[in-house]
Amino acid sequence: DSGVTQTPKHLITATGQRVTLRCSPRSGDLSVYWYQQSLDQGLQFLIQYYNGEERAKGNILERFSAQQFPDLHSELNLSSLELGDSALYFCASSVGLYQETQYFGPGTRLLVL
């Protein structure tokens, strides 16, 4: 158990809908990272927050957004969902930035029908 929690574990929804994935980092970690793993792709970095501020952006679609709250938990919002958004979404946390070990949560599996 890494200490990073993600809810929900599984989510099934329809195209066009909007969902919110939640991540609670390890106690004391200030950075939160979001990743997407779909069947035909490796692990893709989406976005990183550090102490409430966005610090880096990867291959995140405009339909997706995220935020990190004052208690350091983070939410990833996915809107206008498409079939291709079906994937495993991981959150990871680290104490600081870039050179720190990242601890991954168990992931949220999203299925868009």
Residues in contact with other proteins by CB under 8 A are: 2, 33, 42-45, 48, 55-56, 58, 90, 92, 98-107
Q: Kindly state the smallest distance separating residue 75's Cβ from other proteins, in Å.
A: 19
Backbone angles phi, psi at 55, to 5 degrees: -115, -25
Q: Which is nearer to other proteins, 11 or 105 (CB)?
A: 105
Contact 46, 35 (CB under 8 A): yes
Q: Which is nearer to other proteins, 52 or 106 (CB)?
A: 106
Q: Kindly state the smallest distance separating residue 99's Cβ from other proteins, in Å.
A: 5
Q: Kindly state the smallest distance separating residue 104's Cβ from other proteins, in Å.
A: 4
Q: Kindly state the smallest distance separating residue 31's Cβ from other proteins, in Å.
A: 11
- DSSP letter string over 65-103? EEEE-TTS-EEEEE-S--GGG-EEEEEEEESSSSSSPPE
Q: Which is nearer to other proteins, 37 or 79 (CB)?
A: 37
Q: Which is nearer to other proteins, 64 or 90 (CB)?
A: 90
In angstroms, the Cα distances linking 86 to 31, 63, 99, 113 are 25, 14, 30, 8
- Tokens describing residue 69: 């709250």
Size of the chain, expressed as the number of residues it contains: 113
